[in-house]
Amino acid sequence: MKRNNESVTILLRNSRELYNRSIETGFTGDTQGPRSVALRRNVTKLAQISRDVHIRYLQLAAELPERVGKLALDITSSAKNDYDRVKAIESYLATNYKYTLEPGTTPNDRDFVDYFLFDQKQGYCTYYASAMTVLARSIGIPARYVEGYVLPSQPVQGTTYEVTNKQAHAWVEVYFEGFDWIPFEPTSSSQNLDSIPEQTSRAESSTPDQANPEQNNFVDDLTSGQDASEVSPVSSHMGTGLGAKILPFIKIAGPPFLTFLLWAAVFSPLKRWFRLYRLERITPQKGVMELYKHFLKAL
């Protein structure tokens, strides 16, 4: 599974102008064969879709302060491709800003994202997602702000569910040729899925568009996902008496626990593969909800 993830990352890093490069270089030795003609026609259509996406999802407010774009360039200065630039922005926001449900009010004469990045430096998921969307667009990478929710486990009555802000979250989707829209999570991991307060931000929200089925079929065997986070053991000092009491328990419980860890190491990749397999076969709208549920459980 790790090898698959690495392969996907390599493809993501080379996604810029993928369609145009494919058209220019050809697809098979027989460039006039039926298969090549049909493929060229499909990729040409995808190239037009990509151009339309860039026109729509690179828009920025005319009054956006220049220092926002400069910050985006500084954050991504060492990255050599769009995927690494996006990951650099995601990591920068997650590690340098404080998560809080009470960030205060943005002054009326200030740009929402600029104030969050340079003055406020704290907020909830709406703030992080808005900032990442603007930073990515500032360096020419199509991105969109997304809000979603997960249904409660039980309906209030019949098929009626009560959805509150506790089930809501905001994140970012970034466009990559050959993949369509890929979700990213810039919100600080401390409490990033608690809720969106009733008084949400003034950031503009873009609801996900109907994705293009042809887009997802361009790369037939692509899979995506993130490796499970490594768990670092925490050492603590124990007195001799306490250690003597715990040692027999460790001897008894140790083998079953190790067996469980080995089972988890095998089961987790299989479970992740199955989840990705399901995502490829459902609509984009349902896919967003499935990903949100996954992030909610994981974090």
pLDDT in tens, 127-175: 999 999 999 999 999 999 999 987 888 899 999 988 888 888 999 999 9
- Tell me if 155 is assigned to some domain: yes
Residues 123 and 201 placed together within one structural domain of the fold: yes
Same domain, 88 and 214: yes
Q: Which of 156-165, 214-223, 257-266 has the lowest mean pLDDT?
A: 214-223
- Tell whether 228 is covered by a domain: no
Beta bridge partners of 157: 160
Does residue 180 contact residue 216 with C-beta atoms inside 8 Å?
yes
Centre a 10 Å sphere on the Cβ of residue 191 and count the other Cβ atoms it contains: 14
Domain limits for position 275: 241-299
Which pLDDT value is given to residue 205?
Answer: 36
Residues 169 and 145 sit within 8 Å (Cβ to Cβ): no
Average pLDDT over residues 258-271: 66
**pLDDT (0 to 100) of residue 228:** 32
pLDDT band at residue 25 using 50, 70 and 90 as cut-offs: confident
Residues 124 and 268 both lie in one domain: no
Per the CB < 8 A criterion, the answer to whether 201 and 126 are in contact is: yes
Q: What is the CATH number of the domain that holds 184?
A: 3.10.620.30
Q: Is 80 exceeded by the pLDDT of residue 221?
A: no
Residue 157, domain member (yes or no):
yes
Same domain assignment for residues 211 and 266:
no
pLDDT of residue 165: 80
Percent of the chain at pLDDT > 70 equals 66
Tokens linked to 144: 């969109």
The pLDDT score that the predictor gives to residue 292 is 74
Q: Return the H-helix or E-strand segment holding 38.
A: helix 34-56
Half-sphere exposure of 177 (CA within 13 A, CB side): 24
**With contact defined as beta carbons under 8 Å apart, do 19 and 177 qualify?**
yes
- So what's the pLDDT on residue 236? 32
Q: Is the domain of 157 the same as that of 290?
A: no
Residue 209 falls within a domain, yes or no?
yes
Distance CA 259, CA 221 (A): 32
Same domain, residue pair 210 and 245 = no
- 32 occurs within a structural domain: no
**Domain total for the chain?**
2
Question: Is 283 in the same domain as 173?
Answer: no
Mean pLDDT, range 179-186, rounded to an integer:
95
In a domain, 26, yes or no: no
Q: Above 50 in pLDDT, residue 198?
A: yes
Are 109 and 206 part of one and the same domain?
Answer: yes
Across residues 14-31, what is the average pLDDT? 77
Which has the minimum average pLDDT: 56-65, 80-89, 182-191, 257-266? 257-266
Query: Who has greater pLDDT, 52 or 237?
Result: 52
Find the range with the poorest average confidence among 23-32, 58-67, 188-197.
188-197
Task: Please give the radius of gyration of the chain, using alpha carbons only, rounded to the nearest integer.
Answer: 23
Q: Do 261 and 176 have their domain in common?
A: no
Specify the higher pLDDT residue, 12 or 205: 12
Q: Which amino acid is at 234?
A: V
195 in a structural domain:
yes
| Helix runs in 76-186, H state only | 82-96, 112-115, 125-138
pLDDT at residue 288 in the model: 73
* Residue from 267, 250, 279 nearest 179 by CA: 279
Q: Are residues 171 and 260 in the same domain?
A: no
Residue 212 lies in a domain: yes
Q: Which one-letter amino acid corresponds to residue 73?
A: L
Q: Give the whole-angstrom CA distance, residue 133 versus residue 125.
A: 12
Do both 123 and 174 map to the same domain? yes
The Cα–Cα gap between 147 and 165 comes to 11
Strands (E), the chain: 98-99, 122-123, 143-149, 168-176, 180-184
